[in-house]
Chains A and B, each alone.
Chain A
Amino acid sequence: MTETANAPSASETVQQATTRRVSPLIVVLLVASAALLIASMRLPWWSITMWAPQYPQGLTATATLTAIVGEDVPEIDELNHYIGMMPLNEAAQFERSISIPMVIAMAAALVISIWPRNWLRWVLRLPAVIFPVFFLADLKFWLWYAGNNLDPSAALSSTISAFTPTALGWGKVAQFHTYGWLQAGFWLALAAAVLTLLTLIPLRRKGRTA
């Protein structure tokens, strides 16, 4: 309402010679989305904690976009070697190697998408919208991959058969109860996706357009 009530400024008038007028709210939403994406880069996106009788405090591994981090990661890897699971940081190496440039590119694409008024803006905004979904899908894939490609020569191979660790919520494997959940980075990216999605909802009714 407010955006349509504003009178076009002189510069916008000039711009309107080539493109249609850009709503300030759209600009705010896109810039905010880009900022949220950038902010998410160094934050944890997902974590999993595993409890067992021997580990009453739990062992926690946290995924950022670039690495699996946490002081318990060596211990988890050490335990995983008994069942023949690959070290955590061997998963998703390609995705993690390109994640930072990709997020920066997505954020830049959001800002750039302020100007084009044609199908191009959809193309520029779409990656940010599907990024959280892609993350979840990739996480699920690697959990499946890690649990279903156990080294058959591992010591406990006859005790632990292939399994897929639970990404979200409670799971159980051997003597461990596990709890995986999404963390701040993911929620910021999800917020960015929602905000970006909002910019794609047609808002103007014909009658209200100036």
Chain B
Amino acid sequence: MRRGPRLLCFLLSAALVLSACSKPTSPPSFESPSPASGTVTGLSADAAAIASERGLSPADVAAALKTYVPSGKLDEAVMFASGGHSGQVIAIGIPSMRILKNIGVFTPESWQGWGYSDETRAVLEEGSVEGQLLTWGDTHHPNISETNGEYDGEYLFINDKANARIAVVDLKDWETKQIVKNPLTLSNHGATFIDPNTNYIFEASQYAMPWTGEYAWMDEYQEKFRGSLTAWKFDRAKGRIDVEQSFAIELPPYWQDLCDAGKGPSDGWVFCNSINTEMATGKLTEDDPYFETSTAARDKDYLHIVNWRKAEEVFKAGNFVRINDFPVIPIETAVKEGILFFTPEPKSPHGVDVTPKGEHIVVGGKLDPHVSIYSIKKIEEAIASGNFEGTDPYGVPIIPFDVALEAQIELGIGPLHTVFDDRGYAYTSLFIDSAVAKWSIGSERPEDGWKLIEKVPVQYNVGHLAALEGDTVKPGGKYLVALNKWSLDRFSGDAEKGEFPGTGPLLPQNLQLIDISGDTMQVIYDMPMGIGEPHYAQIIKADRLQSWSVYPENGWDPMTHSVSPYAVAAGEERIERNGNEVHIYMTAIRSHFTPENIVVKKGDKVHWHITNIDRAKDAVHGFGLAAYNVALSLEPGEHADFTFVADKEGVFPFYCTEFCSALHLEMMGYLHVEP
């Protein structure tokens, strides 16, 4: 009896301590129901009835099952598509094809406050041309940063064709951080292609022109007009292009088109194709043909083969000239140093794409029904042995076509762009045929050789293709997206038949998801794209992205990725006046701004600093100020500043533009500008 109760008490204590660990992790009412298990052998009566009622074929039902992402479930990949002349980037979930976000880049975007705060305005202003703030861009080719030839999901680069600019988007917060303006040219196209470790972002000029700022008439085209290939050095630690470490290579006044950087055995090279090696100058007299004809007079144009590693050495050795205060390796130097070579390609080609193993370069014929496949081994051998068929008028050595060529495959009319899967197949868009051609890479599928496998129609006029990590060293296969230029009847019908007549004369583009996992390609989804014209896109597996859901600390300046010197903490809100300069230090938290009533005098220069001190995921505040054209997005922890001269007297309401809480409408205040 003596030890009994004591032992009992010990055991009781132990049991109590153990019971402390029994806390559940979520209440029963919020637990998701477990999905029904078992094998689906056929449609249920309900599902069959729905399919029948909606007129869905078995293939339609299969497509629906492949693409539908139920509420609460996530997509497996993210496609970053250019927004064309919307100037933005559009992120889309794969396979659902749901738009996730439109990222402001070259064009002000008021939801994100992009271009309205001092910080974001400064980025737009970096991209000004001769003092002119540009408020649009023509985004073409997004490229996700790579490590060892695979997407690392850290940064996204995109070019503006309209003004030859490059933007850097940080995928930690999906915000644009930098815009650089090319000082040599006003248009680009072959950008933003990167080498396998993102040392450089390559930008080829498109329309040859005198170096920016110079004037010349067309009779001086061959002497004064030039193209260029710029190698922008990317400083990954800073997340910015290092302009000081960047340089360009002067190119003949052909219109350089798309580019791709080598990988594996072709690492160290950049390949760009060209149109208008005719150096046509357009319709100057009644008798002259238009550019569309005169640029396609010759049978062949030149694939540009550029040794960027050698160019980097030459640049670092100081062997360059400065044009518009930018280092440029002249053509003669590039030729002398073995940086620049040409090989003929069927006239006016479009895409140039390096195969995943880096052994071959695929050029889409556009005006020629073939893809022409070049071998880097053969190119390097020709260079090493000096096997050239002469030079172009600018002295650039030309490797004979048949020496550099590995294979040609006739695919159809208008082959443009090529992407790859994980099984040794390549996929090439056929613009004029409105189809996608699947063909085998002979070196990877010796059983098939270099041959066309099959074609699938797409609707309509397909431009670029994007495949899951399909331009990396390890393509993911499974998904292919055709970025079609025309949608025609896809999203608009016949009003006479009582159908939806469509969206007016400006039709959405049609992005089509294609299942490439099986033996035959299947179009499984049509996605209307009504906010831009995506040119190129890249698809990254979602788990490679490491995005933030809230900023790491309150007062965060997304441009410096550190706490802003103007950050405002709770309790430190204030208004400071120094002469006619007024600093307003404000916080935003659900559901009020502090301070709420602000008095300044007409003519004051107002520096307004706002920190969102909310820390909860999705607790975003907006800030809109009437009459002064201010729109901010204040994400959890974010700080923003804006500056204006209070030149209008009166009372101006400001309010939270995000529906942040039940008292969102009440989250407002007044700016009083005294006469």
Question: CB within 8 Å of B: which residues of A?
Answer: 1, 47, 49, 51, 56, 58, 71, 74-75, 78, 82, 155-156, 170, 177, 179, 181-184, 186-188, 190-191, 194-195, 197-198, 201, 203
Contact = CB atoms under 8 A, between A and B. Distances in A.
A179 B24 contact: yes
Contacts of B30: 51, 56, 177
12 contacts: A47-B23, A78-B589, A82-B663, A155-B662, A155-B663, A181-B22, A181-B23, A184-B20, A190-B16, A191-B13, A194-B9, A195-B13
B61 interface: no
Contacts of B615: 71, 74-75
B221 to A, nearest CB: 63
B17 interface: yes
A58 B26 contact: yes
Q: Which 3 A-B pairs have the closest CB atoms?
A: A177-B27, A187-B17, A191-B13
Given A187-B17, A194-B12, A177 B662 contact: no
B29 interface: yes
Contacts of A183: 20
Nearest to B618: A54
A179 B9 CA distance: 28
A177 B22 CA distance: 17
Nearest to A81: B590
Interface string B1-36: 011011001001100110010111011011000000
Contacts of B12: 194
Given A194-B9, A201-B5, A187 B26 contact: no
A61 to B, nearest CB: 13
Contacts of A198: 6, 9
Q: Is the interface of B mostly helix, strand, loop or mixed?
A: loop
Contacts of A170: 27
Contacts of B17: 184, 187-188, 191
A177 B3 CA distance: 44
Interface residues of B, number: 27
Contacts of B6: 198, 201
Contact of B20 (A155, A187, A195, A201): A187
Nearest to A58: B26
A179 B5 contact: no
B22, B23, B589 interface centre (most CB from chain A within 10 Å): B23
Nearest to B27: A177
Contacts of B22: 181
A158 B564 CA distance: 40
B16 A187 contact: yes
Given A190-B13, A191-B13, A179 B23 contact: yes
A186 B21 CA distance: 12
A73 to B, nearest CB: 10
B20 A75 contact: no
Contacts of A47: 23
B154 interface: no
Contact of A1 (B2, B662, B663): B2
A188 B20 CA distance: 10
B616 interface: yes
B654 to A, nearest CB: 20
Contacts of A78: 589-590, 614, 616
Contact of B29 (A58, A156, A177, A186): A177
A199 to B, nearest CB: 10
B611 to A, nearest CB: 14
Contacts of A58: 26
Nearest to B592: A81
Given A51-B26, A78-B616, A156-B662, 5 more contacts: A1-B2, A74-B615, A78-B614, A179-B24, A188-B17
Given A74-B615, A75-B616, A197 B27 contact: no
Interface in B15-60: 16-17, 20, 22-24, 26-27, 29-30
A51 B25 CA distance: 10
A8 B441 CA distance: 94
Contacts of B2: 1, 203
Nearest to B663: A155
Contacts of A56: 26, 30
Nearest to B24: A179
Nearest to A203: B2
A186 B616 CA distance: 30
B447 to A, nearest CB: 51
B383 to A, nearest CB: 59
